[in-house]
Amino acid sequence: MQPAPSPAEGNDACALIVGPARNYCLNGGTRAAPPLTGSHAGITPGGALLLVPVAVGLTWAVRLRRKAH
C-alpha cells in the first residue's frame, strides 16, 4: 500500500486513485465507454411487457387505497 501523498504532491489529481482507475485518470480519461449491447442494452420489448402486470397491479392498489380513505 502506498503512503498518502504529501501536501506538495497534492496537485496531482490522480494521486489518491489506485488500480485501473488510476491508469484511466493518468491517460486523461478520454476513452469512451463501449456501446451497450446484448443483455446490457437496457429494457428490451419483452422486458417492458413484464412491467405491464406490475403497473396494473400498482394502479389498482392505489385506487383501492384511495377509496378506503
- For the record, the C-alpha cell of 2 comes out as 502506498
Q: How much of the chain exceeds pLDDT 90, in percent?
A: 20
Residue of higher predicted confidence among 27 and 38: 27
Q: How far is CA 35 from CA 31, 38, 68, in A?
A: 12, 10, 48
pTM beyond 0.75: no
- At residue 56, does pLDDT exceed 80? yes
The alpha carbon of 34 is separated from its chain's Cα centroid by a whole number of angstroms, namely 15
d(CA 45, CA 7): 53
- For the record, the C-alpha cell of 69 comes out as 380513505
